[in-house]
Amino acid sequence: MLAKASQRPACCLLCLNGLSRIRPSASNSTTIPLGVRAMGGGPRTQPKYRPARLQLSQRVAISEPARPAKRKSVLYPGGLNQWEANLPPPRRPSQAWTQRQAVQAEGEKEFKTPKKQNKRPEFKHLRMARALETVPKGHKQRVRQTLNELGGEFMDYPLLPSIQDALAKDIFADLDHYSPTPVQRLTIPTLLDHEVSSEPPKEPKSFLMAAETGSGKTLAYLLPLIHNLKKEEALEVERKVAEAEAAKNAPGKSQYDVDPSEIDPGIPRPRPRVVILLPTAELVSQVGSIVKKLSHAVKFRSILLSRNFSPTVIKNSLQANPDVVIATPHLLSSIAQSEPDILGGCHYLVADEADTLFDRSFREITQSILVRAENLKQLILCSATIPKSLDTTLRKIYPNLIRLVTPNIHAIPRRVTLGIIDVDDDPYKGNKKLACADVLYNIARDPDETGFVKKVVVFVNSRDTTTPLTEYLQSKDIDVVEFGRDTQSRSESKILEYFTGPKVEAPLIGGSGPRAALKRMKVLVTTDIASRGVDTKQVRNVLLYDVPFSTVDFIHRAGRAGRMGKRGRAFVLVDKQTNKGWVRDIKDCMHMGQGLL
């Protein structure tokens, strides 16, 4: 098996090229095992057989047992799901703990634990959908202090005796005791404070009066306005009499030269002096009724201009030379186009529900009226909310605006409780109408308001919903009426008066079952039209069938209950499309007595 190295055949490229001609010397010639020689090894001094190191496993022929199949995620079958916990790294010891350790190490016996900070809700959802202007804390504190210092009775204000009479005999005839509310305490002295003169100032004084819903804003602006109107009238008569006297005593003139109309207090003056703008005909009627009550004791003429009156009635009332005009902006603006003088004598102008009158749908028409009122002395903007958009607009138009804002602005009072009903839960399973009917059943069976008809207002977002919802509730034996912008006839507009009117005694019906209870309840299904300014003083329950679009709408709708210190309840139906966090934030805010954002 052994062969001489010199006799070996060409085994590689080097041998073929003759490079391996260097032959080993005879002394070096050795024999190497054939297998090793073939591996290209050169001549070895100690030829040795090396067995191959690679060894096959004993179990080479035995197949591996099958691995268990990997669990597949239901959500991500492709394996995208994360199976690792990815826990955060262990927390560092708190600062307080480190301090305590340090102090203990120093041997100190007493150590005061730092006070834990109260964790307040962050109102994350409310902040994200912020719609209202924030009133600074400093302003609120200052106003609180001022309110504490101001007089606490209407008698403390220098109002005309006839106005004080009207308050006692006509406005608060049904109350044993009455005193001004915070907004009235804040506004009445400020608006009375201005110097009454017959000459219009160079620039009118503008005020923004803002306070929570149902806090008596209407009287807060009406009382000083009527006082100023009567004061102005008296001053003018005084001036005319003095002028007539002077003319009579002038040298070379006899008393017969004086024009009698100059000393007649009833002479035609430029009218009206006071204009009150309101966004809807219903509000015109509501404010008009208070003004009429005042005019019984304080003699002045007032007229109402709205779509509820025929053109003939409006024409006749304008010819009566009114002192006070209460109107919707569209109607007044169209009258002003044919009679430009109607606003020439206006000294006091109120834009009630200013957030509506300065929103996109009304702003142009409101401003056209303001431009025509050239001799204005006071402009009063009144609102229950200050949306961000209103604040921006007012800052631009009226940089010198005097703000009379109460500290509780934007807060729904704590005496109003909010119930959240999830329509997707059992037993409704997404049936919103059924949930609405069920809430109404429960209100009817509640032992509250015994002996009186329970008045409930249901708010929907769209007027298309009112009729189907009304029909559904009627099919469930609930006494329902609907009221919307399409409600035209006079009898239908009386509907609202039922809900703004006094308490009504319940009919005497035997039995205590649900059907008898339903007969003692009256429900109004309406849109946003009945949410602003409407004084539903005797309504204790409000149901928000649709979640309002913004906190502004929420405040106005929930504000129909719990007015003027009364208790109330608001219910809101939520479903899977609702931002439930936002509604929960509102509930927390209400619970804490904080203003909404």
Ligand X SMILES: Nc1ncnc2c1ncn2[C@@H]1O[C@H](COP(=O)(O)OP(=O)(O)OP(=O)(O)O)[C@@H](O)[C@H]1O
CB of 323 to ligand X, least distance (A): 21
- Cβ-closest residue to ligand X? 216
Residues 304/280, Cβ–Cβ less than 8 Å: no
Quote the DSSP letter at residue 74: S
Question: Binding ligand X by CB under 6 A: which of 114, 564, 591, 593?
Answer: 564
To which H or E segment does residue 46 belong?
Answer: none
- Binding of residue 181 to ligand X (CB under 6 A): yes
CA separation for the pair 116, 207 (Å, rounded): 43
Q: Which is nearer to ligand X, 292 or 584 (CB)?
A: 292
- List CB contacts of 12: < 8 A, sequence separation 6 or more: 40
Q: Which is nearer to ligand X, 332 or 558 (CB)?
A: 558
Question: Binding ligand X by CB under 6 A: which of 130, 160, 170, 178?
Answer: 178
- Strands of 454-503 (E only): list them: 454-459, 480-483
CA separation for the pair 192, 228 (Å, rounded): 7
Question: Binding ligand X by CB under 6 A: which of 391, 535, 546, 553?
Answer: 535
Rule CB under 6 A: which of 236-255 touch ligand X? none
- Binding of residue 559 to ligand X (CB under 6 A): yes
- 233-248 burial, b at 16+ Cβ within 10 Å, e below that, comes to beeebeebeeebeeee
CA separation for the pair 335, 318 (Å, rounded): 10
CB of 563 to ligand X, least distance (A): 5
| Binding span for ligand X by CB under 6 A among 29-37, 56-64, 213-221, 237-245 | 213-221
| Binding span for ligand X by CB under 6 A among 43-51, 202-210, 464-472, 558-566 | 558-566
| Binding span for ligand X by CB under 6 A among 176-184, 502-510, 515-523, 586-594 | 176-184
Look up tokens 């949306």; give the residue: 387
Q: Which is nearer to ligand X, 428 or 483 (CB)?
A: 483
CB of 573 to ligand X, least distance (A): 23
| Binding span for ligand X by CB under 6 A among 114-122, 186-194, 211-219, 295-303 | 211-219
CB of 236 to ligand X, least distance (A): 30
- Neighbour count for residue 3 (Cβ, 10 Å): 13
Q: Which is nearer to ligand X, 220 or 379 (CB)?
A: 220
Structure tokens at 246: 């002077």
CB of 569 to ligand X, least distance (A): 17
Q: Which is nearer to ligand X, 314 or 357 (CB)?
A: 357
- Binding of residue 218 to ligand X (CB under 6 A): yes
> Mind giving me the DSSP string for 120-187?
----HHHHHT--BPPPPHHHHHHHHHHHHHS-SSGGGS---HHHHHHIIIIISTT-S-----HHHHHH
CB of 154 to ligand X, least distance (A): 8
CB of 218 to ligand X, least distance (A): 3
Question: Binding ligand X by CB under 6 A: which of 143, 208, 210, 214?
Answer: 214
CB of 498 to ligand X, least distance (A): 15
Site string for ligand X, 38-77 (x = CB under 6 A): ----------------------------------------
Question: Binding ligand X by CB under 6 A: which of 37, 133, 180, 547?
Answer: 180
CB of 385 to ligand X, least distance (A): 9
Tabulate helix, strand, coil % of the chain (nearest 5): 40, 15, 45
Query: To 10 degrees, what angle do helices 463-475 and 432-445 make?
Result: 60
CB of 174 to ligand X, least distance (A): 10
Q: Which is nearer to ligand X, 214 or 272 (CB)?
A: 214
Q: Which is nearer to ligand X, 211 or 544 (CB)?
A: 211
Residues 193/231, Cβ–Cβ less than 8 Å: no
Amino acid at residue number 305: L
User: How many residues sit in the footprint of ligand X (CB under 6 A)?
Assistant: 19
Question: Binding ligand X by CB under 6 A: which of 32, 187, 207, 217?
Answer: 217
| Binding span for ligand X by CB under 6 A among 25-33, 74-82, 480-488, 533-541 | 533-541
Amino acid at residue number 170: D
- Neighbour count for residue 207 (Cβ, 10 Å): 22
- Binding of residue 219 to ligand X (CB under 6 A): yes
CB of 353 to ligand X, least distance (A): 7
CB of 293 to ligand X, least distance (A): 10
**76-80: long-range contacts, CB 8 A cutoff, minimum separation 24:** none
Maximum Cα–Cα distance across the chain: 172
Site string for ligand X, 489-528 (x = CB under 6 A): ----------------------------------------
- Binding of residue 384 to ligand X (CB under 6 A): yes
* Of 451, 587, 462, 460, the residue nearest 523 (C-alpha): 460
CB-count burial class (<10 Å; 0-12, 13-18, 19+) for 580:
middle
Residues 453/504, Cβ–Cβ less than 8 Å: yes
Rule CB under 6 A: which of 102-161 touch ligand X? none
Residues 411/596, Cβ–Cβ less than 8 Å: yes
DSSP β-ladder status, 402-405 and 480-483:
unpaired
* Of 560, 530, 501, the residue nearest 214 (C-alpha): 560
Quote the DSSP letter at residue 113: P
Question: Binding ligand X by CB under 6 A: which of 273, 377, 563, 569?
Answer: 563
Q: Which is nearer to ligand X, 227 or 563 (CB)?
A: 563
Question: Binding ligand X by CB under 6 A: which of 537, 566, 580, 587?
Answer: 537
Structure tokens at 26: 């005879």
Residues that bind ligand X (CB under 6 A): 178, 180-181, 184, 211, 213-219, 384, 533, 535, 537, 559, 563-564
